[in-house]
Amino acid sequence: MRHVTGRARRAGAALAAALTWAGLLAGCSADGPGPLGMGGALGEPPPPEDVIRVTPEDGSKAVRPGDRLLVRVPGGRLEKVTVVRSQDAQDAPVPGHISEDGLTWRPDDDRLALAAKYTVDVVALDSQGRRAARHTTFTTYVPDRRFIAYVTPENRATVGTGMIVSLSFSQEITDRAAVERAVRVSARPPVEIRPHWFGKGRLDFRPEHYWKPGTEVTVDLALRDVEGARGFYGLQDKTLSFTVGRSQVSLVDAAKHTMEVRRDGQLLATVPVTAGAPKHPTYNGKMVVMDMLEVTRMNSQTVGLGAEYDIADVPHAMRLTESGTFLHGNYWATDAPGRVNVSHGCVGLVDVKGGSSDTPAGWFFDRSRVGDVVEVVNSQDKTVAPDNGLGGWNMGWKEWKAGSAEK
């Protein structure tokens, strides 16, 4: 057996220590292949959170919609980022893109959904080519105050050429620009469609002229999580559509006591009518059929006229304004149409009690639909207000466009 002196043992230990430190230093260098780097120690890979940074942080709660989702690495490059949004018991991928330098990932839409859980899975390489993976989650703010839009016309309806798309909101809107950007109305064939606000609670859309027959109109509501007023967030994310049918425009001449009914520009008939009496004249201007009722009750107290009338069974009633103007059948003054104006502001056509398709009122009702235009001329009243029913056609195109919140 070879005898090793103490001096030799000490020399060997020193040499081993020198070699060990040389190896560690090589591992710490930026170009070396050793196990250290980006926070690693004694041959262990760095923690994933040091390699991959995710904002919002893992486990965050009640994240506000103004915060931004961002994935980044301080060095190396991102290989794959998968983000899933869970909302209303449904999962949906969140599209996004990795930057050209490979250091960051951002979603294509940087607005976070409310009342949602986000799951983020990332695979990346650090600056030394080592692969790391990270899984994080966070949840977003759940608002207790929401608003919705009530939309006219109904989904899948077939309407007349005078229909105006009207949104009435359940909450006054203070950020009208944000809400307006979240609503898109489009048509096929294409036509310019512009919005107009009436106060803080109503947003209407229309083209410059009446729709062309056969037009398909789509209303996209991307209101979900849009803050329309302080602390009030939209609820809807849905698409509606309707079809424009044939054109029917009727011209009521209050002085002549007649109504000319034109279908696709051709005169169908001239019908005798009675309009508003001198004390209660009918509005002038363009009005749009908003609702059609086979029979309805009309009570003067509902329109501020005291106890002047209460008729329980008015037949063939078509609403023209929110304030109570109707075109309807009249069985209690059948000698008035064509001769004299006796109504309290409505337009009356000859009818019988219970209604009949054989009367002028029944004939017109059977040939009408929601969205048809009824225009009144030569009455002694003012022009109907653009926000009284669907009266927006009484406003010039320049003025209409000026009512947008997006200047």
Residue range of the domain that includes 220: 146-245
Low-confidence winner among 24-28, 86-90, 172-176 (lowest mean pLDDT)? 24-28
pLDDT for the residue numbered 17: 36
Residue 269 domain-assigned? yes
Contact 351, 225 (CB under 8 A): no
Residue tagged active-site, from 196, 280, 316, 328: 328
Q: Within this chain, do residues 94 and 156 fall inside the same structural domain, yes or no?
A: no
Catalytic residue (one of 196, 316, 344, 346)? 346
Strand order from edge to edge, sheet including 117-125: 90-93, 77-87, 117-125, 131-139
CB count in 10 Å sphere of residue 308: 11
Q: Is the peptide bond before 153 cis (omega within 30 degrees of 0)?
A: yes
State yes or no: is 328 an active-site residue.
Answer: yes
pTM here is 0.77
8: which residues sit within 8 A by CB, 6+ positions away? none
Same domain, 275 and 360: yes
Domain boundary among 139, 164, 179: 139
Tell me, yes or no, whether 11 lies in a domain: no
Read off the pLDDT of residues 278-313 as tens digits, 9 standing for 90 and up. 999 999 999 999 999 999 988 877 777 777 778 889
Contact 285, 318 (CB under 8 A): no
- The reply to whether 337 falls in a domain is yes
Same domain? 108 vs 240: no
Same structural domain, 120 and 253 = no
Residue 59: give its domain's CATH number: 2.60.40.3780
* Angstrom distance (rounded) from CA 235 to CA 203: 17
Dihedral of CA atoms 283, 289, 292, 298 in degrees, nearest 10, equals: -10
Residue 88: per-residue pLDDT: 78
pLDDT of residue 10: 39
Indicate the number of domains in the chain.
Answer: 3
Residue with tokens 């105050």: 145
**Angle, CA 337 vertex, CA 386 and CA 334 arms, to 5°:** 125
Please determine, for residue 212, whether its predicted confidence score (pLDDT) is greater than 80: yes
**79-131 per-position pLDDT tens digit:** 999 999 998 778 999 999 999 999 999 999 988 999 999 999 999 999 889 99
291-299 and 149-152 beta bridge pairing: unpaired
Confidence of residue 154 (pLDDT cuts 50, 70, 90): very high
Kindly state whether residue 210 falls inside one of the protein's structural domains: yes
Q: Bigger pLDDT: 177 or 2?
A: 177
φ, ψ for residue 123, nearest 5 deg? -125, 130
pLDDT at 365 over 90: yes
Residue 234, both tokens: 């939209």
Q: Is the residue at 302 inside a domain?
A: yes
Shared domain check, 205 and 333:
no
Question: What is the number of other CB atoms lying within 10 angstroms of the CB of residue 39?
Answer: 13
Determine contact, residues 243/158, Cβ cutoff 8 Å. Answer: yes
On whether residue 314 sits in a domain, the answer given is yes
CATH number at residue 257: 2.40.440.10
- Same domain? For 332 and 347 the reply is yes
Strand order in the sheet with 232-234: 146-147, 232-234, 227-229
Per-residue confidence (pLDDT) for residue 90, from 0 to 100? 85
In a domain? residue 126: yes
CB 375 within 8 Å of CB 390: no
Report the amino acid identity of residue 332: W
28 is known as an active-site residue? no
Buried b (16+ CB within 10 A) or exposed e, 271-293: bbbbbbbeebbbbbbbbbbbebe
Q: Can you list the alpha helix ranges (DSSP code H) found in 156-195?
A: 176-181
Same domain, 120 and 204: no
Q: Are residues 312 and 261 both part of a single domain?
A: yes
72, 295, 351, 364 from 336: Cα distances, Å: 79, 21, 12, 18
Are 89 and 76 in contact by the 8 Å Cβ rule? The answer is no
CB distance 64 to 110 below 8 Å:
no
Answer yes or no: do 270 and 360 share one domain.
yes
> pLDDT-based confidence at 43, cuts 50/70/90?
low
Q: Is residue 34 part of a domain?
A: no
Model confidence at 207, pLDDT cuts 50, 70, 90, reads: very high
CATH number for 221: 2.60.40.3710
223: left (phi over 0), alpha (psi -120 to 50) or beta: alpha
> Does 252 share its domain with 383?
yes
Same-domain status, 261 and 334: yes
Q: What distance in Å separates the CA atoms of residue 240 and residue 55, rounded to the nearest whole number?
A: 36
Mean pLDDT of 139-146: 92
